Copies of this chain bind each other. A is one copy, B any other.
Amino acid sequence: MRSPLAGITVLALEQAISAPLCTRHLADLGARVIKVENPGVGDSARHYDGVVCGMAAHFVWLNHGKESVELSLTDTGDREVFDRLLERADVFVSNLAPGALGRLGLAPSDVAGRNPRLIVVDISGYGVGGPLDHKRAYDLLVQSEGGACAITGTPGHPAKGGVPVADVGTALYAYSAVLAALYDRERTGCGTVIPVAMLDVVAETMGFALNTVVHGGPEPEPVGMGSPMVAPYGAYPTADSQTVVLGTTSDREWQRLAGNLLRDSDLAADPRYSRNADRVAHRAELDEIVGRWCAGRDLAEIQRLADEAGIGNARLNSVTELAGHPQLAQRGRWREVDSPVGKVPALRPPALGRDWTLPDGRVPALGEHTDAIRREVRDQI
Contact = CB atoms under 8 A, between A and B. Distances in A.
Interface residues of A, number: 146
Interface stretch (A71-79, A198-206, A263-271, A370-378): A198-206
A212 interface: yes
A319 B159 contact: no
B5 A144 contact: no
Interface string A224-268: 111101000101000000000111011000000000000000000
A44 B131 CA distance: 39
A195 interface: yes
Interface in A200-216: 200-216
A128 to B, nearest CB: 7
Given A2-B188, A138-B249, A163-B161, A319 B206 contact: yes
Interface string A141-173: 110111111111110011111111100111011
Contacts of A289: none
Contact of A150 (B159, B160, B313, B317): B317
Interface stretch (A32-40, A56-64, A81-89, A99-107): A56-64
A12 interface: no
Interface residue SS majority, chain A? mixed
Contacts of A348: 200
Given A142-B314, A179-B179, A202-B163, A135 B307 contact: yes
A284 interface: no
Contact of A213 (B146, B168, B319, B330): B319
A224 B319 contact: no
A142 to B, nearest CB: 7
Interface string A119-136: 000000011111111111
A29 interface: yes
Contacts of A314: 135, 140-142, 144-145
A317 B149 CA distance: 8
Interface string A21-58: 00001000100000000000000100011011100011
A354 B127 CA distance: 13
Contact of A352 (B48, B160, B194, B307): B194
| Count of identical protomers in the assembly | 2
B176 A224 contact: no
A294 interface: no
Contacts of A316: 144, 149-150, 158
B319 A212 contact: yes
A157, A163, A331 — which one has the most chain B CB atoms within 10 A of its CB?
A163
Nearest to A329: B130
B327 A160 contact: no
A142 B194 CA distance: 32
Contacts of A52: 211, 215
22 contacts: A4-B183, A5-B180, A29-B180, A44-B250, A52-B211, A57-B208, A136-B312, A147-B322, A150-B316, A152-B161, A153-B154, A154-B157, A154-B159, A159-B159, A161-B162, A175-B176, A180-B353, A181-B353, A193-B354, A199-B328, A214-B323, A219-B319
Interface of A: 2, 4-5, 25, 29, 44, 48-49, 51-53, 57-58, 60-62, 126-138, 140-142, 144-154, 157-165, 168-170, 172-177, 179-184, 186-188, 190, 192-197, 199-217, 219-220, 222-227, 229, 233, 235, 245-247, 249-250, 307, 310-323, 325-328, 330-331, 333, 344-345, 347-356
